Amino acid sequence: MTLALISTETTEEPSCKASVAAPAPKGGAQIGARIGVKAARRPSELLQRDGAHDVAVAIPDDFELDFGGTLTQKRVIGRLHGKANAPLIVVAGGISADRYVHRTETKGLGWWSGAVGVRAPIDLTRFRVLAFDFAPEFGEGVKDATTPLTITTQDQARLLALLLDHLGVEKVAAFIGCSYGGMIALAFGELFPDWAEQLVVVSAAHRPHPLATAWRGIQRRILQLGLETGRIDQAVGLARELAMTTYRTQEEFGDRFDSEAPSHAGQAYPVCDYLQARGRAYRDRTTPSRWLSLSDSIDRHRVEPEAISAPVTLIGFTTDRLCPIEDMRELADRLPNLWRFEQHASVYGHDAFLKEDKLVADILTSVLKDIDQ
Residue 163 and residue 55 in contact, taking contact as beta carbons nearer than 8 Å? yes
- CA–CA separation, 19 vs 27, rounded Å? 20
Active site residue 50: no
- CA–CA separation, 280 vs 282, rounded Å? 5
Structure letter (DSSP) for residue 266: T
Q: At 177, phi and psi to the nearest 5?
A: -125, 135
273 φ/ψ sector (left φ>0, alpha ψ -120 to 50, else beta): alpha
Contacts (Cβ under 8 Å, ≥6 apart) of 339: 198, 311, 312, 313, 367
* The one catalytic residue among 179, 289, 293, 346: 179
Quick one: which of 242, 243, 221, 224 has its CA closest to 232?
224
3 state SS of 254: helix
Q: Using omega within 30 degrees of 0 as the cis cutoff, is the peptide bond preceding 262 cis?
A: no
| Exposure on the CB side of residue 27, measured as CA atoms within 13 A | 24
Burial of 140 (0-12, 13-18, 19+ CB in 10 A): exposed
Sign of the Cα pseudo-torsion (99, 302, 67, 30, in order): positive
- CA–CA separation, 330 vs 305, rounded Å? 10
* The one catalytic residue among 165, 320, 327, 351: 320
Active site residue 258: no
Helix (H) or strand (E) holding 26: none
- CA–CA separation, 46 vs 25, rounded Å? 21
* The one catalytic residue among 53, 81, 102, 350: 350
Q: Using omega within 30 degrees of 0 as the cis cutoff, is the peptide bond preceding 87 cis?
A: no
Per the document, the length of the chain is: 373
Q: How many CB atoms lie within 10 A of CB 45?
A: 12
Residue 2 and residue 96 in contact, taking contact as beta carbons nearer than 8 Å? no
| Exposure on the CB side of residue 329, measured as CA atoms within 13 A | 8
Active site residue 333: no
Q: Which residues participate in catalysis according to the annotation?
A: 179, 320, 350
